[in-house]
Amino acid sequence: MPENLNAEETAPHARVAADVASAMGTDTTAGLSSSEAQARLERLGANELEREAAVSAWRRFLLQFKDALVLLLVAAAVISCIVWAVERETSLPYEGLVIITILLLNAILGFLQEGQAEKALASLRAMAAPEASLVRDGVQRRLVTRDLVPGDLLIINEGDTVPADARLLAVAELQTLEASLTGESSPVTKSTQPVASDAGIGDRLNMIFAGTTVSFGHGRAVVTATGMSTELGRIAGMLKTTKSPTTPLQRELDRLGKQLGTTVVVIAAVVVASLLMLYGAHDAATVVQVLMFGVALAVAAAPEGLAAVVTVVLAMGVQRMARRGAIVRKLPAVEALGSATIIASDKTGTLTRNEMTVRVLVTAAGRVDVTGTGYSPEGALLPQGLQELSGAWKQETDQLLQAAVLANNAQLNEKQGAWSIQGDPTEGALLSAARKAGLEAGETRGRFPRLSEAAFSSERKLMSTVNQDGGPSGHRLLFTKGAPGTLLERCTHELSGEKAVPLTPERRAQILLITEEMAAEALRTLGTASRSLDSEDSAKEAGRKASEFEHGLTFLGLIGMIDPPRPEAGAAVERAKAAGIRPMLITGDHPGTAVAIARELGISSDDRVLTGTELERMSEPELAKATQEISVYARVNPKHKLRIVKALQGNGEIVAMTGDGVNDAPALKSSDIGVAMGITGTDVSKEAADLVLTDDNFATIVAAVEEGRAVFSNIRKFLEYLLSSNAGEVLTVFLSVVLARPLGLGDKGTLVLPLLATQILWINLLTDGAPALALGVDPAEPDLMRRPPRPRSEGVINAKMRWDIAIVGLVMAAGTLLVFDAALPGGFFEGPGGIEYGRTMAFTTLMLFQLFNAFNARSDAQSAFRGLFRNGWMWAAVGLSIALHFLVIYVPFLQAAFGTVRLSGGDWFRSIAVASSVLWIVEGMKLVARIKQRPETAERAGEDSPVARQSPGSTNAAA
């Protein structure tokens, strides 16, 4: 059985292609069978580079204790146990055991969160896995590259990333970029001829290598090596360690966490020093209690779990995007999506159905209408003014469609009554039209076997093939299709009946006028032409490219086709506008077609369009001004796209740009959010993009923007919740020290604090875990897509959030100290209980404060009572937190561990009443903000009315 065939003794590059295929057990037409491929996959392993072994579960668990504050808490627990062992004041070292228990629970929570994040990211990697085209069981299909095996028959096209080392069997002007292996920056032209066995990698012109890119042409090859046996695998030692990069958002939050941690440590140190100065260090137990309290305060107030929660929320949001058809390749795109102000979209397949349908054929005899839709070859050809197509008119039409079938690489397939195409949608539509006319692609291609090809490119705008006529004449013929204007420049005659008549200037002008009229009908136009190669050309043909014969052609006619708009595209455009996002249409199609589609979908309300030719003549300032007013661009190439992106960014826009071709990669990389087409896109465009659409649908981009906004909004929600809750804890303790004497806590010169270290840690465990995660999966607010985009310069914490955090923290601290003071004798209010009762009341009130605050955090503008029950996870988290707190209050063993006593129904009522104040105060703040915002909203609505709006194409008109 053949193995990886890249050893020097086998040297596939030194052998004839057919011998290599035979040695690999590969049928050069049908490829491998599925059963044989599966057997090889099991024996040889997946086609992927080795990665560093995953961190074991026990090591990941131990890493939860690496934080400096956690280590301080471990030390405090150990010291507490030592003091207990010396003094034996209680039956068990409750304080030390509780701290250790909480540390373990925190570690378990962090461990589970990291595991969830890793699982989510692994599934995303699987969804974004690259694919390759190959033939198995005689059928061309797409397959995840890791499942390729030696012997597979690859189909490679322009823009593909080569998935494995392979020996070329057939090429059509194939060129690859091999700088990743050889350092050679120029494209390498490939052939199928054997080379010397000792040839270096750069000289193995009949081989393609894993990791390189096809820059031009296409071909077939048999896989000779996969995985670590490839040339790339040999130098992959440095690639084995695959680290997940941190996003800008994660780095900002990490920086924020460190800043807060430092601040809290300073505050904790001040509190400890103040306590020691106020109450003195009379005995070891007091010193240990103060130190543990300070450490507990620092640990509780620092949001050390923030990064893990962010990762989980991002990963879950990205999975939701994937379910809606948008695969996020780079996590920063999630953040950028919330700021997008422009969606610059291609037309074909994104705004339209990508099911081209031929509607019109025009030859010298006149116009023929074609019925039917989509790729199904059901329909008829109806010549204007006649019942059926016949005579010279039919001959012209057959010649027109014959050229369209032969200068064509697509395949039309039928499975269980459903028709689909393999290849370019335009070429698929041509095959369907030909079949309606009675021309079978298989029979036509069988009679005219292809000898060579000049592939289509955006620069040439033509595709040509040289074919051998298998009929009596035996002539070699050239067939060409392409843009009518470009094609006519190479034509000297036109087919009229059976004869080629000279193409006069007047007839050229008439054909171009017909092209304009068809474009006004939103039809995309193609022309076809042909020529018979004379004896001199035929003698030289074997050594020349097909493109060299593109002159002296006979024009055969025009083909008009349409790609109808997607039904959901119009609604998506309106949603984008309502969200303050300006849609733009950028296409290589005719200006008339572009304007017609843009007007139908609501992208543009006028006929203004900027063509690539006009754009070429513009200076950068002129283009920057034009992009502020014009939303439709036609006849543009990828270089023009790049200029448009830079002009928009120069105007301060955040641009999401779509693309599918190799040359779109620079524009995708330069844009703020590069969006590649998952169906029609090349591997190069997908690698350059941040987002890949699995359905190539404009509506999916808008849905991804909504998900991106929701993810960022949820991150802000739980961040505000965590920081305001932690601020409440810190201020409660800090103010209890500052106001010790007015509160009656320091009158007897003993250490009396409203909360124990274990109680602070318990609150932190209850409220920073489940409720924070529940906020991370909060449903998107109803008006999320009616808000303007978030300014890119605005950080994750804005000025309003800082103000809200400060107010909520003060309300929590004041309420908790009020309840604590009211429970004890002395101070501002005379209370009935002892210190344990007072601490239990403060402990419970502060915990309830934070749970009420979780509902506040669900929106910074809308009332907490709006959509109160939309987030079931929030209610589950709150219920869990209260249930666990009940155990601490009423279970005797836990009472001793946490220093609590039983509370009555009246005690709970008072704690709930005071804790709910944070909800009512924030509700009042939100109400005032909404009342103040109403005049501004009305004013903006007036400015955006049809009467007031001055420029239909102006930036962010909907904002």
Average pLDDT over residues 745-772: 72
Kindly give the pairing relationship between strand 582-586 and strand 342-345.
parallel
Say what the pLDDT of residue 954 is: 36
Say what the pLDDT of residue 266 is: 80
Burial of 390 (0-12, 13-18, 19+ CB in 10 A): exposed
| Residue 807 reports pLDDT greater than 90 | yes
| Residue 125 reports pLDDT greater than 60 | no
Average pLDDT over residues 265-282: 72
Residue type, 702: V
- Measured between alpha carbons, how far is 925 from 922 in angstroms, rounded to an integer? 5
| Residue 282 reports pLDDT greater than 80 | no
**pLDDT tens for each residue of 780-794:** 888 888 888 887 677
- Measured between alpha carbons, how far is 595 from 608 in angstroms, rounded to an integer? 8
- Tell me which DSSP letter residue 476 carries: E
Say what the pLDDT of residue 359 is: 92
Is 346 one of the catalytic residues? yes
Which phi and psi angles does 189 have, rounded to 5°?
-80, 130
Say what the pLDDT of residue 183 is: 54
Average pLDDT over residues 532-546: 63
Report whether 636 contacts 626 (CB < 8 A).
Answer: no
**pLDDT tens for each residue of 297-319:** 666 566 655 656 666 677 777 77
Report whether 465 contacts 406 (CB < 8 A).
Answer: yes
Average pLDDT over residues 873-895: 91
Say what the pLDDT of residue 279 is: 64
545 versus 723: the higher-pLDDT residue is: 723
Say what the pLDDT of residue 85 is: 67
At 956, the pLDDT band (50, 70, 90 cuts) reads very low
Which of 164-168, 304-308, 323-327, 334-338 is predicted with the least confidence, judged by mean pLDDT? 304-308
The share of the chain scoring above pLDDT 90, in percent, equals 29
Say what the pLDDT of residue 314 is: 72
Rounded alpha-carbon distances, angstroms, from residue 689 to 172, 207, 639, 686, 807: 28, 28, 17, 5, 42
Question: CB count, 10 Å around CB of 138?
Answer: 11
Report whether 295 contacts 721 (CB < 8 A).
Answer: no
Say what the pLDDT of residue 402 is: 96
- Measured between alpha carbons, how far is 131 from 248 in angstroms, rounded to an integer? 29
| Residue 32 reports pLDDT greater than 90 | yes
Which of 651-655, 813-817, 825-829 is predicted with the least confidence, judged by mean pLDDT? 825-829
Task: Catalytic residue, from 147, 165, 346, 563: name it.
Answer: 346
What single string gives the DSSP state of each residue in 728-747? HHHHHHHHHHHTTTTTTSST
Question: CB count, 10 Å around CB of 923?
Answer: 15
The share of the chain scoring above pLDDT 70, in percent, equals 78
Block residue for tokens 């095996």: 149
- Measured between alpha carbons, how far is 773 from 86 in angstroms, rounded to an integer? 42
Q: Give which of 581, 626, 579 is closest to 603, Cα–Cα.
A: 581
Say what the pLDDT of residue 944 is: 44
- Measured between alpha carbons, how far is 217 from 379 in angstroms, rounded to an integer? 33
| Residue 16 reports pLDDT greater than 70 | yes
Rounded alpha-carbon distances, angstroms, from residue 459 to 173, 463, 635, 637: 15, 11, 11, 8
Average pLDDT over residues 451-455: 85
Average pLDDT over residues 514-539: 82
The gap from C-alpha 713 to its chain's centroid, in whole angstroms, comes to 17
- Tell me which DSSP letter residue 137 carries: T
At 755, the pLDDT band (50, 70, 90 cuts) reads confident
Q: Tally DSSP H helices, then E strands, for the chain.
A: 33, 27
Which of 1-10, 174-183, 186-195, 306-315 is predicted with the least confidence, judged by mean pLDDT? 1-10
At 245, the pLDDT band (50, 70, 90 cuts) reads very low
Block residue for tokens 């690259």: 130
Say what the pLDDT of residue 705 is: 87
What single string gives the DSSP state of each residue in 769-803? SHHHHHHHTPPPPTTGGGSPPPPTTS-SS-HHHHH
292 versus 243: the higher-pLDDT residue is: 292
Residue 681, classed as helix, strand or coil, is coil
At 7, the pLDDT band (50, 70, 90 cuts) reads very low
At 393, the pLDDT band (50, 70, 90 cuts) reads very high
| Residue 239 reports pLDDT greater than 50 | no
Rounded alpha-carbon distances, angstroms, from residue 374 to 297, 378, 381, 427: 67, 9, 15, 12
| Residue 372 reports pLDDT greater than 50 | yes
- Residue 815 CB contacts under 8 Å (≥ 6 apart), including other chains: 845, 849, 914, 915, 917, 918
- Residue 789 CB contacts under 8 Å (≥ 6 apart), including other chains: 338, 339, 340, 341, 579, 580, 581, 654, 956, 959
b/e per residue 561-594 (b: at least 16 CB within 10 A)? bbbbbbeebbebbebbbebbbbbbbbbbbbbbbb
Highest mean pLDDT among 446-450, 692-696, 827-831: 446-450
Say what the pLDDT of residue 773 is: 79
Question: CB count, 10 Å around CB of 388?
Answer: 10
Question: CB count, 10 Å around CB of 111?
Answer: 18
Rounded alpha-carbon distances, angstroms, from residue 595 to 570, 591, 600, 846, 886: 14, 6, 8, 61, 67
What single string gives the DSSP state of each residue in 12-32? GGGS-HHHHHHHTT-BTTTBB
Q: Give which of 324, 524, 325 is closest to 425, Cα–Cα.
A: 524
| Residue 407 reports pLDDT greater than 70 | yes
- Measured between alpha carbons, how far is 451 from 533 in angstroms, rounded to an integer? 13
Q: Mean of the per-residue pLDDT values for the chain?
A: 80
Say what the pLDDT of residue 188 is: 84
Average pLDDT over residues 733-762: 72
Say what the pLDDT of residue 952 is: 35
Which of 14-28, 346-360, 453-467, 660-674 is predicted with the least confidence, judged by mean pLDDT? 660-674
**pLDDT tens for each residue of 598-611:** 988 999 888 899 99
Which phi and psi angles does 31 have, rounded to 5°?
70, -160
Question: CB count, 10 Å around CB of 839?
Answer: 24
- Measured between alpha carbons, how far is 371 from 359 in angstroms, rounded to an integer? 7
| Residue 294 reports pLDDT greater than 60 | yes
| Residue 89 reports pLDDT greater than 60 | no
At 957, the pLDDT band (50, 70, 90 cuts) reads very low
In angstroms and rounded to an integer, the radius of gyration of the C-alpha atoms of the chain is: 36
Highest mean pLDDT among 116-120, 304-308, 606-610, 844-848: 844-848
Report whether 190 contacts 208 (CB < 8 A).
Answer: yes
Question: CB count, 10 Å around CB of 610?
Answer: 24
Q: What is the 3-state secondary structure (H, E, C) of 863-910?
A: CCCCCCCCCHHHHHHHHHHHHHHHHHHHCHHHHHHHCCCCCCHHHHHH
| Residue 119 reports pLDDT greater than 80 | no
Which of 402-411, 738-747, 765-774, 899-908 is predicted with the least confidence, judged by mean pLDDT? 738-747
Beta bridge partners of 300: none
Say what the pLDDT of residue 243 is: 44
Residue 135, classed as helix, strand or coil, is strand
Residue type, 258: K
